[in-house]
C-alpha cells in the first residue's frame, strides 16, 4: 500500500526570518518603548487597543521609514500623505494580533510592562539605541517611541479610523 507523499513544508513551520522578526522579546521591547515614550509626554499609559497598532507601524519597513522625524507632524497629517501605505494596514494589524498578544503577555510576565487600569505602562526605562545595534533594530525602537508619543495627541478610536482599520 502506498503512503501519501510527505508535505514539502510543515504547515506549522515558519520561515526563520519571520520567527526572528516576531521574536517575543523584541516585540515586547517595542511595546515597552512605545509605552515609555507615551508616558514621558502624557499622563497615562498606552491604551491596550493602541498596542495593536505599534508592531504594524514599526516592523513594516516602508511604513517605519515613512514615519516623520518632525514631532509636530500629526498622525492625521501623516495618514493623508501616506494613504498608499495604509491600503493593507487593516490586514497587517490583523496579521500582527497574535504576536502583539504574545508580546503583551510576555511583558506582563517579565515585569517589563504593567497595567494602570486598562492602559499598558513601561515599568522601567528601556535602553537607548547604540551604534552597536543593527540599524533595523535601532530604527524600529525609534519608530516605536515616536508612535507612543503620537498616542498622546490622538484618541485610540480615531487612530484606528485614520489608519483605515475597522471602517
In tens digits, the chain (167 residues) has pLDDT values of: 555 555 444 444 444 555 455 789 999 999 999 999 999 988 789 999 999 999 999 999 999 999 998 888 999 999 999 999 999 999 999 999 999 999 999 999 999 999 999 999 999 999 988 889 899 999 999 999 999 999 998 999 999 999 999 86
- Residue 153 in domain: yes
Q: How many domains does the chain have?
A: 1
- Residue 90 in domain: yes
141's grid cell: 525602537
- Residue 20 in domain: no
- Residue 2 in domain: no
- Residue 19 in domain: no
Start-to-end CA distance of the chain, whole Å, equals 54
Per-residue pLDDT, 10: 41
Query: Whole domain around residue 35: which residue ranges?
Result: 31-162
Q: Do the beta carbons of residue 51 and residue 104 sit within 8 Å?
A: yes
Q: Considering only CA atoms, which of 115, 143, 144 is closest in space to residue 44?
A: 115
Q: Considering only CA atoms, which of 149, 141, 139, 143 is closest in space to residue 74?
A: 149
- Residue 121 in domain: yes
- Residue 109 in domain: yes
> 92 in helix, strand or coil?
helix
Per-residue pLDDT, 167: 65
Per-residue pLDDT, 11: 40
- Residue 7 in domain: no
98's grid cell: 497574535
HSE of 41 in the Cβ direction (CA atoms, 13 Å)? 16
Please give the DSSP secondary-structure letter assigned to residue 96: T
Phi and psi at 47, nearest 5°, equal -55, 135
Amino acid at each position: 500500500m502506498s503512503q501519501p507523499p510527505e508535505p514539502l513544508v510543515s504547515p506549522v513551520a515558519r520561515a526563520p526570518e519571520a520567527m526572528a522578526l516576531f521574536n517575543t522579546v523584541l516585540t515586547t521591547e517595542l511595546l515597552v518603548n512605545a509605552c515609555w515614550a507615551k508616558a514621558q509626554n502624557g499622563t497615562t499609559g498606552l491604551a491596550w487597543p493602541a498596542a495593536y497598532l505599534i508592531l504594524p507601524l514599526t516592523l513594516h519597513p516602508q511604513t517605519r521609514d515613512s514615519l516623520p522625524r518632525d514631532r509636530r507632524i500629526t498622525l492625521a497629517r501623516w495618514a493623508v500623505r501616506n494613504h498608499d501605505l495604509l491600503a493593507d494596514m487593516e490586514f497587517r494589524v490583523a496579521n500582527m494580533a497574535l504576536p502583539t498578544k504574545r508580546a503583551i503577555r510576555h511583558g506582563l510576565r517579565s515585569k517589563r510592562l504593567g497595567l494602570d487600569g486598562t492602559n499598558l505602562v513601561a515599568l522601567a526605562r528601556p535602553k537607548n539605541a547604540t551604534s552597536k545595534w543593527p540599524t533595523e533594530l535601532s530604527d524600529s525602537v525609534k519608530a516605536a517611541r515616536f508612535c507612543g508619543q503620537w498616542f498622546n495627541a490622538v484618541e485610540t478610536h480615531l487612530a484606528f479610523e485614520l489608519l483605515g482599520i475597522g471602517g
